[in-house]
Amino acid sequence: RTAWVYSPFGRNFVKTMLRLAADRDEIAVVADQWGNPTSALDIADAILHAAARLRDDRNFAAFGVYHLAGEGDTNWSSFARHILDTSRALGGPYAKVRDIATADYPTRARRPQNSRLSSAKFEGVFGWRAPGWRQATEKVVRRLGRSETKQALSA
């Protein structure tokens, strides 16, 4: 299981914040929902690491459900601030983030207040630890800022 997944590709929170910042001075973002931002690039790395372990250990017996999420937790508005601060430092779009409550941001689906996951079991079994969410987010924002991937913001 994972949560709060983002990447340089497809539709996701990081790309939405950058797109909105290009058009607005201020973005209202929910501040009372918590989770672990998780880079799809890190998920791919973890899967490859786990697959190699499974390939090399024919007696592997630690089957089951694993959580895999970025290291550390935050709320949506702090995540947005980090995305936009990183973008500004790289010369990209920036907007001020205004904290709002979940009740002030109606959605079709009810979102949990706490989506935090522990990856301790995955780390213990496979010996792979996710980078901190800030570092992983900076990597994705940097990649999105490159001219060859700017068109991905519109996807």
The gap from C-alpha 136 to its chain's centroid, in whole angstroms, comes to 8
Q: Is the pLDDT of residue 113 over 70?
A: yes
Residue-level pLDDT at 140: 98
- Per the structure, the complete domain to which residue 22 belongs is given by 5-150
CA distance 151 to 155: 7
Give domain status of residue 114, yes or no: yes
CA distance 28 to 47: 34
Dihedral, CA of residue 88, residue 94, residue 95 and residue 97, to nearest 10: -50
| pLDDT-derived band at 149, boundaries 50, 70, 90 | very low
E-state strands within the chain? 5-6, 26-30, 34-35, 38-39, 74-75, 96-100
| pLDDT-derived band at 47, boundaries 50, 70, 90 | very high
Residue-level pLDDT at 106: 80
| pLDDT-derived band at 155, boundaries 50, 70, 90 | low
Give domain status of residue 12, yes or no: yes
| Total domain count, the chain | 1
Give domain status of residue 130, yes or no: yes
The two tokens of residue 62 are: 């630690």
Q: What does DSSP assign to residue 128?
A: -
Residue-level pLDDT at 75: 99
Nearest Cα neighbor of 67 from 32, 109, 38 is: 38
pLDDT tens digit sequence for 54-107: 888 877 777 789 999 999 999 999 999 999 999 999 999 999 999 999 999 888
Give domain status of residue 136, yes or no: yes
Residue-level pLDDT at 17: 98
Taking all residues of the chain, what is their mean pLDDT, rounded to a whole number? 92
Give domain status of residue 93, yes or no: yes
Q: List the CATH number of the domain containing 140.
A: 3.40.50.720
CA distance 141 to 71: 17
Pairing of strands 26-30, 96-100: parallel
Q: What does DSSP assign to residue 4?
A: S
Give domain status of residue 155, yes or no: no
Residue-level pLDDT at 148: 42
Q: Are 117 and 1 in contact (CB under 8 A)?
A: yes
pTM, two decimal places: 0.90
